[in-house]
């Protein structure tokens, strides 16, 4: 699933083509796209609205509309892509199109049909309503991070993926930040000491900022609005590199499964608790 850097890349890519334009028509071509909303209400509110801004909240894209209308949220999920390319009209996986008064339409192509469109009007899904703080915001301080970790016994890698704790972090960047901070992914979140909290707080922000600069990571589905892949993949230190040597200590990188998700780590740089 696209994480914060990939979604931020999409936002920056589509913003110039959307802001100031009026939505003339919203086509919803698959029922799963509007499964959280009444499609007639969606169209009624969105059509005729001028887009004032495009922002991101966690892994969600928000189109802010004029006239006190609620924002239109788009969740790409696993395989969703937003493209200013009319060749998408010929795709069997075209799920929605946003037609504008000027310029090309914005098309939503989604192979797995997990992506959704909905209004942020109080009826949005819980996954949006309960989002935690943004890790790149000024509010995400070291003290706030320590408060979020609390006394939780959940392994820190799994904890970082919980969107109600911190918004936007996914599997790739959680593994990378933990490696950078030299923190074991197995450690219970609430047992990190002050030094580990400080190192991990800095690592989360650095990894995410660097990935945004490189326009995200592409392994399979993610593409920028122009169709290009993200460029951060060559900068990954541990994710997807099981069996390769750690760039810091030359120990082989290992992979394990935590709560159904792959975790990549260095067993020497990121030593776990003694009981491990």
pLDDT tens string 108-136 = 999 999 999 999 999 999 999 999 999 99
When the candidates are 3.40.50.10470, 1.10.10.60, 3.20.20.70, 1.10.8.50, the CATH number that belongs to 142-265 is 1.10.8.50
> Which residue is catalytic, options 2, 5, 185, 225?
2
Residue 228: pLDDT over 70: no
Average predicted confidence (pLDDT) for the chain: 93
The structure's pTM equals: 0.93
DSSP per position, 81-113: EEE--GGGGG-TTEEEEEEESSSPPEEEEETT-
Q: Is 224 helix (H, G, I), strand (E, B) or coil?
A: coil
In this chain, the answer to whether the domains covering 4-129 and 142-265 adopt an identical fold is: no
Q: How far is CA 201 from CA 145, 158, 177, 192, 263, in A?
A: 7, 16, 9, 11, 19
pLDDT at 226: 67
pLDDT in tens, 77-114: 988 999 998 889 999 999 999 999 999 999 999 999 99
Residue 229's pLDDT band (boundaries 50, 70, 90)? low
pLDDT above 90 covers a percentage of the chain that reads 87
Residue 274's pLDDT band (boundaries 50, 70, 90)? low
**16 classed as catalytic:** no
Region 161-186: mean pLDDT is 97
Nearest to 203, CA basis, from 188, 182, 187: 182
Domain boundaries, the chain: 4-129, 142-265
pLDDT above 70 covers a percentage of the chain that reads 93
**59 classed as catalytic:** yes
- Class of the domain covering 4-129: alpha beta
> Which residue is catalytic, options 5, 8, 59, 81?
59
**3 classed as catalytic:** yes
Residue 276: pLDDT over 60: no
Phi, psi (5° rounding) for residue 171?
Answer: -65, -40
> Which residue is catalytic, options 12, 43, 57, 261?
261
Residue 275: pLDDT over 50: no
pLDDT at 233: 75
């Amino acid at each position: 699933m696209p994480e914060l850097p990939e979604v931020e890349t999409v936002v920056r890519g589509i913003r110039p083509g959307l802001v100031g334009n009026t939505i003339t028509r919203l086509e919803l071509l698959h029922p799963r796209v509007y499964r959280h909303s009444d499609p007639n209400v969606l169209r009624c509110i969105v059509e005729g609205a001028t887009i004032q801004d495009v922002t991101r909240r966690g892994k969600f894209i928000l189109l802010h509309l004029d006239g006190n209308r609620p924002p239109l949220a788009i969740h790409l999920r696993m395989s969703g892509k937003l493209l200013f390319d009319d060749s998408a009209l010929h795709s069997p996986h075209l799920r929605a199109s946003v037609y504008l008064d000027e310029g090309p339409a914005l098309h939503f192509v989604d192979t797995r049909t997990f992506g959704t469109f909905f209004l942020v009007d109080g009826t949005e899904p819980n996954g949006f309503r309960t989002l935690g703080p943004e890790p790149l915001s000024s509010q995400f301080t070291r003290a706030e991070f320590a408060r979020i970790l609390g006394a939780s016994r959940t392994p820190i890698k799994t904890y970082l993926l919980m969107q109600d704790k911190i918004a936007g972090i996914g599997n790739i960047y959680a593994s990378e930040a933990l490696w950078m901070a030299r923190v074991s992914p197995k450690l219970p979140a609430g047992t990190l000491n002050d030094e580990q909290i400080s190192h991990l707080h800095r690592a989360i922000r650095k990894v995410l900022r660097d990935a945004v600069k490189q326009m995200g990571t592409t392994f399979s589905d993610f593409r920028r609005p122009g169709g290009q892949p993200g460029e951060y993949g060559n900068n990954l230190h541990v994710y997807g590199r099981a069996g390769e040597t750690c760039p810091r200590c030359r120990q082989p990188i290992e992979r394990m499964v935590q709560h159904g998700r792959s975790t990549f780590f260095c067993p020497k740089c990121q030593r776990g608790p003694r009981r491990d």
